[in-house]
Amino acid sequence: MSTPYYIPETNVPLPPKGADVITTACDYCIVACGYKVYRWPVAGGRDGGPKADQNAFGADFPVETLGPWVAPNQHNIVLHNGKPHHVVIIPDKDTKFVNTDGDSSLRGGCIAQKCYNPQTPTRDRLKSPLMRIYGILQPVPWDFALDVAAEVGNHVRTNHGSNAYGVKTYSYQFIENTYAITKYALRHINTANFTFHDTPSDVSSTPGFRDAGFDNFGPAYEDWMNAETLLVCGTDPYETKTILWTQWIMKGIQRGQKCIMMNPRRTAGVAYAENNGGLWLDVDLGTDLLVVNAIARVIVENGWQDAKWIEKWVNNKWGSSSGFGQGTRNTPWQWRTTWGKFQTKGFDDWKKWLLAQDEFKPEHAAKVAGIDVKKIYTAAEWMAKPVKGKHPKTSIMIEKGFYWSNNTGNTQAISALAIAVGAGGRPGQVVGRAGGHQRGGQRGGKYPRNKSPMKVPGRRRRALDTDTWTMSGHTRFAHVIGTTWIQSMCGSQQLAKRFEELTVANPHQVRSYDKQDIIDTLKRRADSGGMVVINQDIYLVDPIGNRYADIIFPAATWGEDTFMRANGERRLRLYNRFYDPPGEAKPDWWIIAELGKRMGFDGFDWKNSNDVAEESARFSRGSRKDFNMIKVAAHREGKTLHQKLGEFGTNGIQGPVFMKGDGSLEGTKRLHDTTRKLDPEGPQGANLFNKKLTHFNSQTGRCNIQKSPWSLFSDYWEWMKPKGTELWCTSGRTNERWQSGFDDRRRPYIVQRWPDNYVEMHPDDAKARGIENGDMLMVYSDRVPSLKETTLGVEGSDYSFTGQMKAGNVELTRAAVTGVAMVTRHIKKGIIYMDFLHTSQPANALEGRIVDWISGNYNYKMGVAEVKKIGESPYKKTFRSMSFAPRDII
Amino acid sequence: MTHRTQTPDSVASQPPSKKDRPAGKCLLSRRNFLFTSGVATATVMVTVGSGASAHEIPAMVATYPRKKIAKLSALKDDEPLDFEYPDEGAYAQSMLVKLGTEAGGGVGPRKDVVAFNNFCTHQGGDLAGTYKADTKSMGACPLHLSTYDLTRHGILISGQAYQSLPQVLLELKGDDIYAVGVFGLIFGRYDNLQG
């Protein structure tokens, strides 16, 4: 860990001419900017010089604005083939896509600091397997740790069923790893007790998109720039996917794009949009659906909808009910909920429903959302009103502030609005997610839905909720890979308490030197109703690894093995290895393979990450990042898949990838591209064409326009909304800090900037509580609602929040998190905002652990809390750390 | 040299600029400084910790010119003054401002006089003229919107810069304010004193 006392350097070594140049992409946000790693040996002291012919950039120093400058935070020293090497990692100044202009965020810009270097705060990387013996995590050899884990895992599987073996894993950390993990968990262990880092069960993040037929990541980055009106919901891309903003949306705004930002915080992107002719829809938490439907209502009342588009591309009543295997009796929205709540007979039927709902009248929606009603009319006009007979080119982007506030309702409502304005399917007229993590998931097995015991009557089984399942004591062996699990879920302090009971408070603890004795002890733990935890990660994570895990496997990560991954426009790139992992750390695919072999599974004999990638290629066929044809081309040319993808450098290639007649490869700019002409002869060779290339992901290839009733969510919203002195409490990520801060806590400069969690609060709310900038606050709640067991019920309505309350299945728990007061004009009155995943001050503890009863996702972004001052933080009266200046200065 | 040419439509972007000074040509060499400016070897003390645990440590030992840049009595709150430091080469343009509120590294009776380099430590955008009196900040950078808090050693408020805005270290002697060093690498350079 780093202290906040950062002393900046005033010089930096330059890479010499002839330094190794290795391409990669950033490890962090969805945008995945292209980077170049310049590497040269420390021995010999042959650093580059300031003249163009003396350095690897071929640039004279001082360099031009936007030139290849090297900030000291972009330099590090690593081991390569066992020998110390300098590395300088800067954004690729020559890349043609994504981070054009050689741009970068602060996160990726300083990614050199991520590399393990024992002289920096990265020194606590996990370097060897650890096993908890006599209460202490002690280093043990790989074989010892793997043998114990596999034997106990097999015991649990055999004696308690495969659902007792829980796998909680990242969804994104490279295709090779996610393929290996899902092959192991889903195909071989075949457990329904499986999910990803950001959801309690393996369900769609955007159910409304799924039902309408929209892919989450269909658009190309240029579409966000080329839209004439852009509605951005629940995120400020400047803060969270910087380069998508600075290189694409910001350039669109400079060309006259009208940018509407729906978000209760006025951070820099919102302020920039507003200052340049845009609009800030400063909605209160959870009220998005009302505002979106009110905008839609204004549009249809004025007849501004894109009627021609709708006629051609929206299902009428026959289309809505058609389709063998995907028709009305067998579609995802029917699996999820009550018959008839969402489905329409087409646009007119939806319009009739919309106009019949009084809560969507603009005045009412504006009142509940706490916004000026004029903004609803302005947004509707910008998005849809034809100018000289022409509809504006409108696009819609959503992200977690939006889809984690009323998961089903918001995503249904926004899909209908997108359809009404003709967004989705044409250049500059698209709908999609902005994205969080990069897209590195590749399934190596199918989720065994029929093994999930969670089922709503009359409907299909729902993916198992791993949190309630674990709370109920059914997880006997928890295999946790690259996630904090606890702090990244809701009601996290209640979860932590249960983990403690099941692990360290269980009487069966390892107090032995004998391997078989250790195995037997852990088996007894599982048999007694306790839980054994194994954890793969790059750092020791508190508490999942530090306090609860029995065995820790040290993982190798970005730059330490060669991997593949796609970004938010499906652009696939090769992430090259350029230095040695610390100690005995191994990539996750290797750890999984070793466990798989010991469990007795076949198909885990990979020699290197390329072997895994090549095996996974055929499973990508038909997906948005279909890279199978890259492998086909590689093999034709006598290359490996990794070698072939590597040839595309930082430019990469957008999935799905096809092979042309001459053997060259062609990417896909956007999905649902109704303007795209595919080969009229049909797919040749191993190419695979499917509906989503030129149509939508629905039963007919046309969009389903669906209803989005407020009543399915309003009971929870009414119950949740602040009472008395409570404030709305939401959370998210701040630009400078990535996710749990696993790297950033080890970057002195970032620790100086953000030493502790913070509480953004409006000046009026602060004044009423006697709070000033820099005060240390206690943020707490007596009413964090949490599900006791899996949702229980007989009738459909039993599953609503009201139904679960009546059934006594909701427990009100307490939570408390500290943070430093940041009194600022950039947040809406009545709302506080914290970093969502400071592991030591976890704001998610305050969010209700109640799944969206239709989709199974958490609504992370709408909790409530009381706030009081408990003293002063060290930052109140000193000048080295933090800043209390607002984030809206333009 | 890798030049990034701007597309005509990127309105807010600036053309590549080194303030019209070719690289390596107009920078005063250290040798020239030895003859013309004299040399100040300044050990800059930085206070770390707070309260009883506070103590001073040497932040850096460097050889910077000692350059008189302003008279304290002539300064008005929130009216920045331009100067060049540590030389007259590329990216030497800096600003001095009396914030009217105490600041880290501030000199004067109210410890409110601070000075900073003018170039964004992200991609070198020119921050001249972006001082904001209400927030005591520099920026937003016209290129990618980074902002800096001048009360807190130029720390990044919001944005993409790789480090704080380089702070020009000041000394007060009588009514004269001298620049004596720079805290943090200046954009474009690989060494503050070498260009």
Q: Are residues A335 and A392 in the same domain?
A: yes
- In chain A, which among 227-266 make CB contacts under 8 A with chain B? 238-239, 242, 246, 250-251, 254-255
- Residue A189 placed within a domain: yes
CA distance, residue A19 to nearest chain B CA (Å): 16
B158 interaction partners in chain A (CB closer than 8 Å): 239, 267-268, 735-736, 887, 889
**Confidence class for position A338, pLDDT limits 50, 70, 90:** low
| Chain B partners within 8 Å of A889 (Cβ) | 132, 135, 137, 139-140, 147, 157-158
The CATH number covering residue A472 comes to: 3.40.50.740
Q: Are residues A807 and A845 in the same domain?
A: yes
- Specify the pairing of strand A863-872 against strand A775-787: antiparallel
d(CA A143, CA A125): 20
- Contact list, A70 vs chain B (CB under 8 Å): 190
- State the DSSP code for A799: G
Residue A793 pLDDT grade (very low, low, confident, very high; cuts 50, 70, 90): confident
User: Rounded to an integer, what is the distance from CA A849 to the centroid of its chain?
Assistant: 19
> HEC states along B15-81?
CCCCCCCCCCCCCCCHHHHHHHCCCEEEEEEEEECCHHHCEEEEEEEEEECCEEEEEHHHCCECCCE
Write b or e for each residue in A828-863: b if 16 or more Cβ atoms lie within 10 A of its Cβ, otherwise e: bbbbbbbbbbbbebbbbbbbbbbbbbbbbbbbbbbb
pLDDT-derived band at B59, boundaries 50, 70, 90: very low
What pLDDT does A792 receive?
Answer: 72
| Averaged pLDDT for residues B77-81 | 98
Q: Do B188 and A61 touch (CB under 8 A)?
A: yes
Any residues with CB less than 8 A from the CB of B46 and at least 6 apart, and which? Answer: A7, A880, B56, B57, B58, B59
- How many angstroms separate the CA atoms of A280 and A222, rounded? 23
- pLDDT over 60 (residue A325): no
Radius of gyration of chain A (CA): 27
Of B1, B62, B185, the CB nearest to A52: B1
pLDDT category at A341 given cuts 50, 70, 90 is: confident
Q: Which of residues 261-290 of A touch B (CB under 8 A)?
A: 267-268, 272
| pLDDT of B178 | 97
CA A448 to CA A457: how far, in whole Å? 19
Q: Which of A397, A545, A559, A535 is nearest to A477 (CA)?
A: A535
- Distance (Å) from the C-alpha of residue A70 to the closest C-alpha of chain B? 7
Phi first, then psi: give them for residue A852, nearest 5 degrees.
-55, 120
CATH code of residue A87: 2.60.40.4210
For residues A616-629, average pLDDT = 97
On whether the CB atoms of residues A4 and B155 are closer than 8 A, the answer is no
A495 and A464 inside one domain: yes
Residues A416 and A288 in one domain: yes
Give the residue, A824 or B28, on which the prediction is more confident: A824
Among residues A599, A620, A653, the one where a domain terminates is A599
Identify the band that residue A177 occupies on the pLDDT scale cut at 50, 70 and 90.
very high
- Give the end of a domain, one of A65, A90, A124: A124
Q: Is A469 helix (H, G, I), strand (E, B) or coil?
A: helix
Q: What is the DSSP string of A52-119?
A: GGGBTT--PSSPPTTS----GGGEEEEEETTEEEEEEEEE-TT--SSSGGG---HHHHTGGGGS--TT
Residues of B in contact with A12 (CB under 8 A): 185, 190-191
Is residue A794 pLDDT above 90, yes or no? no
Q: Is A435 left (phi over 0), alpha (psi -120 to 50) or beta?
A: left
Q: What is the tally of structural domains in chain A?
A: 4
Nearest CA-CA partner of A104 in A56, A9, A32: A32
B137 vs A contacts (CB less than 8 Å): 885, 889
What is the greatest pairwise CA distance in chain B? Answer: 57
> What is d(CA A466, CA A480) in angstroms, rounded to the nearest whole number?
12
Q: Which of A168, A169, A161 is nearest to A189 (CA)?
A: A161
The pLDDT assigned to B40 comes to 38
- State whether A730 and A767 are in the same domain: yes
Q: Are strands B167-173 and B113-117 parallel, antiparallel or unpaired?
A: antiparallel
Helix (H, G, I), strand (E, B) or coil at A721: coil
CATH of the domain at A257: 3.40.228.10
Give the CATH number for residue A828.
Answer: 2.40.40.20
A372 lies in some domain: yes
pLDDT at B47 > cutoff 70: no
Cβ of A33 under 8 Å from any chain B Cβ? no
- Which residue's entry shows tokens 């733990």? A525
Q: Which two tokens stand for residue A484?
A: 């904090």
Query: In A215-314, which residue ranges form alpha helices assigned H by DSSP?
Result: 221-226, 237-240, 242-244, 250-254, 268-275, 288-301, 307-313
Do the Cβ atoms of A66 and A102 come closer than 8 Å? yes
pLDDT for the residue B5: 37
Last-in-domain residue among A553, A583, A599: A599
Compare all CA atoms of chain B with the CA of A53 and give the residue at the minimum distance. Answer: B1
From B23, B132, B187, residue closest to A889, measured CB to CB: B132
* β pairing state of A165-169 and A194-196: parallel
Are the Cβ atoms of B185 and A12 closer than 8 angstroms?
Answer: yes
Q: What is the C-alpha radius of gyration for chain B, rounded to an integer number of angstroms?
A: 17
pLDDT confidence of residue A784: 94
pLDDT score, position A342: 86
Cβ-based contacts under 8 A for chains A and B: 225
Residue B118 C-alpha, separation from nearest chain A C-alpha, in angstroms:
13
Q: Is the model's pLDDT at B35 over the cut of 50?
A: no
Q: Tell me how far apart the alpha carbons of residues A525 and A531 are, in angstroms, rounded to a whole number.
A: 6
B18 vs A65: CB contact, 8 Å cut-off? yes
CB nearest A254 (choices: B11, B23, B126): B11
In this prediction, residues A257-275 reach a mean pLDDT of 98
- pLDDT bracket for residue B1 (50, 70, 90): very low
Same-domain status, A515 and A390: no
Tell me if chain B has a CB within 8 Å of the CB of A16. Answer: no
Measured CA to CA in angstroms, residue A803 lies from A58, A406, A425, A712, A808 at distances of 68, 18, 40, 12, 9
Same domain, A188 and A334: no
pLDDT of residue A339: 57
Confidence grade of residue A797 (pLDDT, cut at 50, 70, 90): confident
Give the DSSP H or E segment for A336.
helix A332-336
Average pLDDT of span A659-668: 96
Cα–Cα distance for residue pair A169/A478, rounded to 1 Å: 10
Superfamily the domain B67-183 falls into = Rieske [2Fe-2S] iron-sulphur domain (2.102.10.10)
Contacts of B134 (CB under 8 A, 6+ apart): none
- A840 and A744 share one domain: yes
- The amino acid sitting at A572 is L
Contact A753/B at CB under 8 A: yes
Region A617-629: mean pLDDT is 97
Q: Kindly indicate the confidence band of residue A313, based on its pLDDT and cuts at 50, 70 and 90.
A: very high
Confidence category of residue B6, pLDDT binned at 50, 70, 90: very low
Q: Which residues of B are catalytic?
A: 122, 144
pLDDT digits (tens, 9 = 90+) for B137-190: 999 999 999 999 999 999 999 999 999 999 999 999 999 999 999 999 999 999
Say which residues have a Cβ less than 8 Å from residue A586's Cβ, sequence separation at least 6: A142, A553, A554, A555, A556
pLDDT digits (tens, 9 = 90+) for A489-530: 998 888 999 999 999 999 999 999 999 999 999 999 999 999
Q: Which residues contact B129 (CB under 8 A, 6 or more apart)?
A: none
Reported as a pLDDT band with limits 50, 70 and 90, residue A795 is: confident
Q: Average pLDDT of A572-577?
A: 98
Q: A10 and B185: CB-CB below 8 Å?
A: yes
The closest alpha carbon to A528, from A508, A550, A509, belongs to A508
- Tell me how far apart the alpha carbons of residues A835 and A584 are, in angstroms, rounded to a whole number: 33
Do A448 and A429 belong to one domain? no
| Structural domain boundaries enclosing A182 | 130-197+440-599
Structure tokens at A207: 């159910």
**Partner residue opposite B162 with nearest CB, options A74, A103, A752:** A74
Same domain flag for A463 and A583? yes
Mapped onto helix, strand or coil, the DSSP state of residue A48 is strand
Domain limits of chain B?
67-183
Chain A residues within 8 A of B152 when measuring between CB atoms: 879-883
Query: Under 8 Å CB-to-CB from B188, ≥6 apart: which residues?
Result: A61, A62, A63, A64, A65, A67, A69, B18, B90, B91, B119, B124
pLDDT at A769 over 70: yes
Q: Which residues of A touch B189 (CB under 8 A)?
A: 61-62, 69
Residues A388, A260, single domain; the answer is yes
% of chain A beyond a pLDDT of 90: 90
pLDDT band at A142 (very low <50, low <70, confident <90, very high): very high
User: What is the overall mean pLDDT for chain A?
Assistant: 95
Judged by CB atoms closer than 8 Å, whether chains meet at A109 and B195 is answered as: no
